[in-house]
Amino acid sequence: MSKTWRLPKFEAGYRYQGILGQQFHGVHAGVSVPLWENRKRLNYSALQVQVYDARIEEHRTEHYHEIKRLYEQYQSLRQRSDAYRSNLQQVSGGALLEKALQAGEMTVLEYFLETSLYYESVDRWLELEAAWQRAGAELMKFRL
């Protein structure tokens, strides 16, 4: 292809032109010699390669930072979930509340209030666990 760009270009044909009542027509021929036509083509190609390399590196960096952010989010959610779980296990659920109710240490209203707070804490822990699992699934899409 580059050899064909170095060859001269030939042109031949018939032309007709009418201007202000005058008519010009006839055969024409021409030759163009490409002395400076391709002088910047190599520089342009080298710049194009640099642009494509920069785009690839930008894409890589973008994915790296996204994966890093997701991994940090995953680790944070996992730690928070583990801490929440250990705190809930220490409370031991409704067993102590039921013993306190049976012993007369608390009223039924206090018992229901405390159990509702316990179950709200369990719900928050489950939401945290779900967010942790979603972050893990989002992170796994880059592994595939």
Give yes or no for residue 24 having a pLDDT over 60.
yes
What's the burial of 97, exposed, middle or buried (CB within 10 Å: 0-12/13-18/19+)?
buried
- Quick check: pTM over 0.75? no
Q: Does 19 share its domain with 45?
A: no
pLDDT of amino acid 96: 78
Q: Is the pLDDT of residue 95 over 80?
A: no
Q: Which residue range is the domain that position 76 belongs to?
A: 41-140
Averaged pLDDT score across all residues of the chain: 86
3-state SS of 28-70 is EEEEECCCCCCCCHHHHHHHHHHHHHHHHHHHHHHHHHHHHHH
User: What would the mean pLDDT of 98-117 be, rounded to a whole number?
Assistant: 86
Residue 115, pLDDT score: 86
Rg of the chain on CA atoms, in Å: 39
| Structural domains of the chain, count | 2
Same domain, 94 and 111: yes
Read off the tokens for 73.
Answer: 């989010």
Shared domain check, 82 and 25: no
Indicate if 23 and 46 belong to the same structural domain: no
Whether 14 and 64 share a structural domain: no
